[in-house]
C-alpha cells in the first residue's frame, strides 16, 4: 500500500464535502508530476491524507481527514468540457493528457493537524508538505509519517469522535 497527501482548498472542496459525496473522481489536476502519481503509482486501497490548503484563522491549513483511492487511473473528463474551469484545449479525446483516480471518504478528523504542527514536529521531518514552496497537489507520504499524523489526530480527540464512513 502507498500513502499520499492530496490538497484541496477547503473553501473550494472540503473534507466535509467529501464526507457528503462519499466517492468522487479527483479531477482538475493540471500538473504533470501529480498526474503521473495518479496514473502510474496510485492504486485502489491506497490511503491519502486530505489536506486543506490556503487556510484561514478559523480553518487553518492542515490535514482534515483521510480518503482512500477507489479506482485505477482513468481519463479526467473535465479536460474536454469547455464550460469547466479545468478545460484544456490542447487535450484531445483520442489522446487525453490528464488522468484522475476516484477517491472515497474514510474519516474526517474532529480537529485538523495543522501545517504549523506538522512543521514543528521533528517526527515529520522530510515530509514534502513541510518544504517551503511545496505546492504539488498530490504528494507521496511515508507510512511512518501517515501513521504519525493519524496518531496526532487521535490525540486531539481522546473520545474518538470523528466522522467515519
The per-residue pLDDT for range 82-133, each reduced to its tens digit, is: 999 999 999 999 999 999 999 999 999 999 999 999 999 999 999 999 998 8
Q: Where are the beta strands (DSSP E) in 59-159?
A: 62-69, 74-75, 99-100, 102-114, 138-141
Give the three-class secondary structure for 98. Answer: coil
Among residues 39, 27, 161, which one has the least CA distance to residue 103?
A: 27
How far apart CA 127 and CA 152 sit, in angstroms, is: 15
CATH fold of 3-164, please? ph1033 like fold (3.10.590)
Please tell me the predicted confidence (pLDDT) of residue 162.
59
Domain map (residue ranges) of the chain: 3-164
Beta strand pairing status for 47-53 and 62-69? antiparallel
Beta-bridged to residue 67, according to DSSP, are 48, 105
Give 164 or 149, the one with higher predicted confidence: 149
**Cβ–Cβ under 8 Å, residues 38 and 99:** yes
The reply to whether the predicted model has a pTM over 0.95 is no
Amino acid at each position: 500500500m502507498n500513502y499520499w497527501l492530496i490538497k484541496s482548498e477547503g473553501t473550494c472542496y472540503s473534507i466535509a464535502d467529501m464526507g457528503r459525496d462519499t466517492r468522487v473522481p479527483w479531477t482538475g489536476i493540471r500538473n504533470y508530476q501529480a498526474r503521473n502519481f495518479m496514473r502510474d503509482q496510485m492504486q485502489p486501497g491506497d490511503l491519502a491524507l486530505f489536506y486543506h490548503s490556503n487556510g484561514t484563522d478559523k480553518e487553518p491549513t492542515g490535514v482534515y481527514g483521510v480518503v482512500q483511492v477507489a479506482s485505477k487511473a482513468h481519463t479526467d473528463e473535465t479536460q474536454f468540457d469547455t464550460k469547466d474551469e479545468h478545460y484544456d484545449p490542447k487535450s484531445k479525446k483520442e489522446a487525453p493528457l490528464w488522468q484522475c483516480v476516484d477517491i472515497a471518504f474514510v474519516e474526517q478528523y474532529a480537529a485538523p493537524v495543522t501545517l504549523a504542527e506538522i512543521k514543528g514536529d521533528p517526527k515529520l521531518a522530510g515530509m514534502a508538505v513541510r518544504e517551503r514552496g511545496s505546492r504539488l497537489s498530490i504528494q507521496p507520504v511515508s507510512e511512518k509519517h501517515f501513521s504519525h499524523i493519524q496518531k496526532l489526530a487521535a490525540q486531539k480527540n481522546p473520545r474518538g469522535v470523528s466522522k467515519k464512513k
